[in-house]
Each structure stands twice: as C-alpha cells, then as structure tokens.
Amino acid sequence: MARILLIEDNPTNLELMSYLLKAYGHEVLTAIDGVKGLEVVRRSSPDLIICDVQLPKLDGFGVATYLKRHPALHSIPLLAVTALAMVGDRDKLLAAGFDGYLPKPIDPETFVPNVVAYLSSPQQVTPMAPVSMTTIITTTTLPSQNWETILVVDDSAPNLQLIKSLLEPFGYKILAADGPATALSLLKDYLPDLIISDLHMGGKIGFDLIKTIKQDPRLKNIPFIFLSATGWRRQDQLDGLALGALKFILRPIDPEVLIKEIEECLGK
C-alpha cells in the first residue's frame, strides 16, 4: 500500500478522502495549507500527493512549482483536487506541474481507484472503472437481504453518500436527512430500525435531535447512534450516551468495524 499526502484546508473533504484511502489500506499524511504540505513532503517523501488548488499561505500552483523544480521531489505524482471547471483549467493545471486532477465534490465510488491509477504510471493513465465501496469490506459474504431501514442524519452530502454506498450493498434501506429538521419530517411518515446522526450540523446539534426523539413515545425505542468527526471531547460522548444513544462512534472508522457496530445495535 502507498503513503499518500493530502493537502486540503476543508475539514469535510480532508476527512472523506482520508477515510476512503485508509479503508483501502493506504497510509495517509495530511496538511491544511501549502507551506505545511511541503514540510511533510520533505520530511516523509510520500508516494503520491493530492493537493487542493485554493489553499492558505501557499496555493496549489505554488506547491506544484516548488515540487517540480526540486531534484529529489519532482518525480512524486501530484494530483490536483479542485472544483474548477472552466475551459482551459485542465491545461493550466498540467502546465503548472500537476500530473492530473480529480473533480470536487469527491465521488466515493471512484475516488480511490482513480487515485491508485496514478501510482504506477503518473504520466499515462488509463481511466479505471468505478469500484464499489463493497470491495473494501473484508466480509466474505454479504447478507442476501436485510430490509432494515436506517435513517442517516448529516449535513455533509459526501458523508451521506459514503454511508449510503457502504450500507446499501448489505441490504439496508437508507433514508438520508441533511439535518435535524429534515430528519423529524421524515420520522412523521417512517419508523426506521436505526438512526445514525452526526453531532454538529450547520449550527444545529445532534443532542437536540435525540432529545426530541426520546421524548416521543412513538420514536423513543428506535436505536440511536452518533457518528461524528467533531465529538472528540469526552464530555460530548458521555452526554450523548446519557441522552439515550447506544453508541458514540468517532470518524474515521474502518467500514467493517462500522458494519459490526450497526449490526450489534440491530441485535444481530
């Protein structure tokens, strides 16, 4: 497996890319600006670098210029990850020294295969077919049908897509809500078998959601899991469990482990 450096100042994008790469067994290094990114490169000599274009302190073009002029670092494959979509942007990136680029928003189904393609031949890349998220699960057999419904509450579209891509192949039906208000609206018409919620969502906090659910006689017995990248404070975890959550899981988490945690909450 490869050592891959991610230079990205957006926490959500950084977490998603790290999660996907680690799930495939790669070692992930991170930096949140161009200057720190170059420090990591000089110190760790990664096998591949994925770099955002719009970065604080030193942007992606500056990173590319430095790396491609450095005699010991110029051969490291360098990928831009960017939402730029104007005519000529691709040529501009390649001219700056990038070996290729990946579009934002990140597609969880194709991100890792497209990255891996640059590890063996950074200059001549053949597009790879999308790989399902189920390929990163080491479980030998998938259940034929589960039919349980899981409500996933998260204000990050990539996170929702990631969970959906991971769980649907196992037979779970996914209801996606982009926040507590949407979740409560869905719960008027559906009774899911499990609720998985982020903690902090656009100023709203998952604690308010679980309080409302646990106070409703119709909903209070639905198993509830917090799945969060921001709930590292021990007190947050204790508060979530005290409010009735069965588990407080921190991201990133290996997909196989997450599946086992979900099955445990569903009594499997």
| pLDDT single digits (tens) 37-53 | 999 999 999 999 999 99
Stated pTM of the model: 0.53
| Omega of the bond leading into 105 within 30 degrees of 0 (cis) | yes
All structural domains of the chain: 3-120 (3.40.50.2300), 134-265 (3.40.50.2300)
Cα–Cα distance list, 135 to 39, 142, 243, 262 (Å): 34, 11, 36, 19
Per-residue model confidence (pLDDT) at position 106: 80
* Per-10-residue mean pLDDT, the chain, length 268: 92 87 90 95 94 92 92 93 67 88 81 84 38 37 62 87 80 91 94 95 85 96 92 87 94 79 90
Per-residue model confidence (pLDDT) at position 111: 87
**Number of neighbouring beta carbons within 10 Å of residue 266:** 14
Cα–Cα distance list, 149 to 75, 196, 260, 262 (Å): 48, 11, 16, 12
Per-residue model confidence (pLDDT) at position 139: 35
Per-residue model confidence (pLDDT) at position 84: 60
- Rounded CA separation 124/87 (Å): 22
Phi, psi of 27 (to 5 degrees): -85, 130
- Rounded CA separation 168/165 (Å): 6
Per-residue model confidence (pLDDT) at position 88: 65
Q: What is the pLDDT of residues 2-41, one digit of tens each?
A: 999 999 998 888 888 998 898 888 999 999 999 999 999 9
Per-residue model confidence (pLDDT) at position 27: 93
Cα–Cα distance list, 13 to 8, 23, 83 (Å): 7, 15, 12
Tokens of 265: 């909450």
